[in-house]
Amino acid sequence: MIRGPPQIVQKCPTGIVTVNRTNIVPRTYRHALQELRQLRRRDSLRLFSSDHRILKFCTSEEAFRPRLVAAAKLQEEAPQMLDTFPSFEVSLGLAHPLGVSEIESGINFAIFSQHASAVTLCIILPKSVHDGMIELALDPQKNRTGDIWHICIKELPQGGVLYGYRIDGPRNWHEGHRFDDSIILIDPYAKLIEGRRAFGDESNKMCRFFGTYDFNSLPFDWGENYKRPNIPEKDLVIYEMNVRAFTADETSSLDQDQRGSYLGLIEKIPHLLELGVNAVELLPVFEFDELELQRRPNPRDHMINTWGYSTINFFAPMSRYASCGGGPVRASWEFKEMVKALHGAGIEVILDVVYNHTNEADDENPYTTSFRGIDNKVYYMVDLNNNAQLLNFSGCGNTFNCNHPTVMELILESLRHWVTEYHVDGFRFDLASVLCRGTDGTPINAPPLVKAISKDSVLSRCKIIAEPWDCGGLYLVGKFPNWDRWAEWNGKYRDDIRRFIKGDAGMKGNFATRIAGSADLYRVNKRKPYHSVNFVIAHDGFTLYDLVSYNNKHNDANGEGGNDGCNDNFSWNCGIEGETSDANINALRSRQVKNFHLALMVSQGTPMMFMGDEYGHTRYGNNNSYGHDTAINNFQWGQLEARKNDHFRFFSKMIKFRLSHNVLRKENFIEKNDITWLEDNWYNEESRFLAFMLHDGNGGDIYLAFNAHHFSIKTAIPSPPQNRSWYRVVDTNLKSPDDFVTEGVSGISETYDVAPYSAILLEAKQ
């Protein structure tokens, strides 16, 4: 039964037919809704809105009206009248900017989809306003400008609204399309993402992610005296770290609600200052789904993706790094607080960004959340000669189509957003060789995206670092297209340093080349030594302790039968695999750890170390620990305290020594007058000893010797500069505190016994 005049059908000024069920009973309305959706499928009627009170359909066909009326007038006994639904004035909106924006006429929504035939905006209002989802179908004749679909809604709340899109289009798989309008998709330009609130909450692992926005909050207060550190690249000492893992462990002594958060990192800035680093490189902080591996049965469904290399959205900070489960708005604010605090401490912020692939996996087991359903053929590389299968140069099932003009602009806008909105200082691009592939996957010499980043008025002032390889074999170390701006993770440095220090034959020349700044790779055009980011350890692979404790990877806990992770680790367990109580082996491992760190800190270029190596963190031989939200990855603050007077002390003093000696951080490549190689044995493949002097021009020379033999080497010490004497600063064979003496130990004779697998550093002082 119907109470009062319900105005079943009316024609809106916009040409939309509305079915209004102000007083129609629920069961009748459900039947009407079912029939109307059948009409929609059969007669191409476009649903504009469905909620608990109003159905709106886009149509210019008057013939549909009687059928709508008939469907709505089904009679049943009427219950109480339902609450009044909020009505919003809708206009066509603007095509730019993409995403959500506040304009004079309301809240504007705009999304790109070149190949879509139907786009429906889905909105969930705050429960105080309305409980349910509103679906607004966009008229392709009116709400589309070129390839951009848009709509503006007046009087929509300025915050707390969740939104996404249903998008339909050609179902021609062989042409590269993967449209499925049953899935609500995330806006690629969403600045905030709402999902589960607690990291790793397995009870909510199937949760849906929505875009959201916040036009209520005041601009963030960076402070009157705030300034960015603007550290010259030659002076950087980078600390690669994971925001969550840094403070997630209970030994961090933080409140439980603060562990693993942006605010938790702020509490541990004193540790970074004591260590001496001046830049943090954060593992991915873009929104990702840490429980993606648990959405279907598979060998890895016990794991939690704690590294974050599986991006959902390129604009939104990871919401579950907010304290107290605060959600996306709080995450945005706290991220800025973290950057502000780090900058206040003189520490720059570099983000590890993943534009080579997304979380949406492959065609066999897709996890469609955004790009795949919006326009797969645009956003991903597909092989049109092989049933349009996704090309996979990332090792993760898909490859982002970075040099497509639309995708390129998305990436550029994302990067600018992080610089202008969040004040980050630079980016490290994961598997950056993907950025050097054309839309068909073919390598290109002058990739438009890489060039655009190099020349961009905002981005060109940032630190820009490439991981110059991908999983398709495009290895570009020393050859990454750079426009004299891009630095690179120097994979050859990592491998050559590891091989020499562990005692491989024939590595002395390579070791010397890497220590001296890898001129063979980077002395081209206007490139500088600091364009080589030198590292021995990074997040993937062994920790530094494991590098000297394991010959083989031990990845059984990952569920892939030990088949994952790199096999070429160039590691040496010093005689016993894994943990041991053998004092001699543990002493040798300690020396090797210090040898590696010493080599890193005296090398020309930009040094990068990994979180936890300063106290000897172990993953027990797991060299691919991305899926373990446990002590395997989490910083162990108790172990740090136990080793403060040994490993940590050596690491900290060595970093500070580097930063106080310009001769170790030269702007330009070293010339013959800058270095003396104390060698007459270069071509002996069995020689594992290297000694040299660095000249600073003012008499403060530095002498270094590395002995990777299993026996001692008595080496001749050259005469110091005039009016100077040699002081021993480092001998890695000595126990702490004698292994590093800041003021130096005098009395150095004409020869020095360099112990097996050890290194020394002497400084010429008055």
Q: Please list the active-site residues.
A: 430, 467
Is the peptide bond preceding residue 79 cis, with omega within 30 degrees of 0?
no
Closest CA to 108 of 53, 68, 57, 145: 145
Amino acid letter, residue 269: I
First to last CA, the chain: 103
DSSP 648: I
Residues 6+ apart with CB under 8 A from 269: 341, 342, 345, 347
Joined tokens for residue 432? 């950056």
Residues 6+ apart with CB under 8 A from 283: 240, 241, 242, 243, 307, 308, 309, 352, 539
Kind and range of the H or E run holding 751:
strand 751-754
In terms of Cβ atoms closer than 10 Å to its own Cβ (0-12, 13-18, 19+), residue 719 is: exposed
The Cα 574–Cα 587 span in angstroms is 10
Angle (CA) 327 328 331, round 5°: 85
The Cα 92–Cα 202 span in angstroms is 41
The Cα 26–Cα 44 span in angstroms is 25
Give the per-residue SS3 of 172-212: CHHHCCCCCCCCCECCCCCCEEECCCCCCCHHHCCCCCEEE
DSSP 400: B
Hey, is 313 helix, strand or coil? coil
The Cα 626–Cα 307 span in angstroms is 5
The Cα 115–Cα 112 span in angstroms is 9
The Cα 52–Cα 132 span in angstroms is 8
The Cα 648–Cα 654 span in angstroms is 10
The Cα 397–Cα 647 span in angstroms is 40
The Cα 397–Cα 556 span in angstroms is 22
Pairing of strands 9-11, 16-20: antiparallel
Joined tokens for residue 429? 């691009």
